[in-house]
Amino acid sequence: MLRRPRRNRKSAAIRSLVEETRLSVSDFIFPLFLIDGINQKVEVKSMPGIYRYSLDLMLEEIDSCLRLGINAFDIFPAYPEDKKDRFATESYREDTFYLKALRTIKQTFPEACIMTDVAMDPYNSDGHDGLVENGKILNDETLEILGKMTLAQARAGADIIGPSDMMDGRVGYLRKLLDENGFKEVSIMSYTAKYASAFYNPFRDALDSAPKSGDKKTYQMDPANRREALVEGQLDMEEGADFLMVKPALAYLDIIQLLHQQFPIPIAAYNVSGEYAMIKASAANGWLDGERAMLESLLSIKRAGAKVILTYFAKEAARIIT
């Protein structure tokens, strides 16, 4: 035999030389959950090792992450029910705790990249990403609310805006609004192919943001559809998105690869809460090696074509990689 592929696997040194995909801490955005108060650190029961932090403790967490080389953070607020209403007005109130925290975080860590989430569900009494009327999610009327939210977050210091709502036309609407208000440098990471997935439940536990009625299938994508992601990707790129995101990641590696092959801008993937929870639960029961499963999962996401990975494993993986 002239060709023996095993020769390139015979030692750790040679395997490292021919390794085609390699994880880096700079690949990661670490999602963090913010709550109001002081000295609060509340574990998300369905996400072992992940917490909701008050601002003072979140500053400490960000500092420890920066020391590990994690430089990007996606910060999500958890609001109590009494702060929620149909129009998500708390999302753009200037002195709301989330916006005040963003300003403090950016002032304390100007070198950090801060991403924010643009959708109504953390603030909406209906638990939906858009405005609800007679059981329907209104598309165009939602855009105005998302615009107010986006400008408030940009003024607070957001580096990247993440519209996760899946309303039609929102990327172009928000890009135009940002530019007209002097925020041309603020990036948009669009949740381009966000599927109506079963893997989101632990995240909704973290934010208490599950829909009060119905589901999100009229605006999030059907898991059966692949080519539809190309339509969403083309629209978002034409409307001014700087990144295209696929969510979830592991069940949609083919979609990550598809967008990577079709579009010349960076592809992001969200390794979501359910994917995290599955590995943690399996490891806790001794069913698999949690560390190896984590690294293999993250590697597969990057191998598929993701330039950026949003993952709750960021800190744990960073300790190993570094």
Cβ–Cβ under 8 Å, residues 130 and 157: no
| Catalytic one of 247, 280, 302, 315 | 247
- What is the separation of C-alpha 321 from the centre of its chain, rounded to a whole number of angstroms? 21
Where b means 16+ CB within 10 Å and e means fewer, 237-269 reads: bebbbbbbbbbbbbebbebbbbbbeebebbbbb
Beta-bridge mates of residue 191: 245
| Catalytic one of 194, 216, 302, 315 | 194
Long-range contacts of 174-182 (CB under 8 A, 24+ apart): 174/118, 174/146, 174/147, 174/150, 175/239, 175/240, 175/241, 177/147, 177/150, 177/151, 178/150, 178/151, 178/154, 181/151, 181/154
Cβ–Cβ under 8 Å, residues 117 and 88: no
State yes or no: is 194 an active-site residue. yes
- Residues in CB range of 126: below 8 A, 6 or more apart: 86, 132, 211, 212, 213
305 to 115, 173, 298, 299: CA distances (angstroms): 21, 28, 11, 10
Q: Alpha-carbon distance 293 to 299, whole Å?
A: 10
Q: For residue 10, with 0-12 CB atoms within 10 Å meaning exposed, 13-18 middle and 19 or more buried, which class applies?
A: exposed
Cβ–Cβ under 8 Å, residues 249 and 272: yes
DSSP, res 213: S
| Residues belonging to the active site | 194, 247
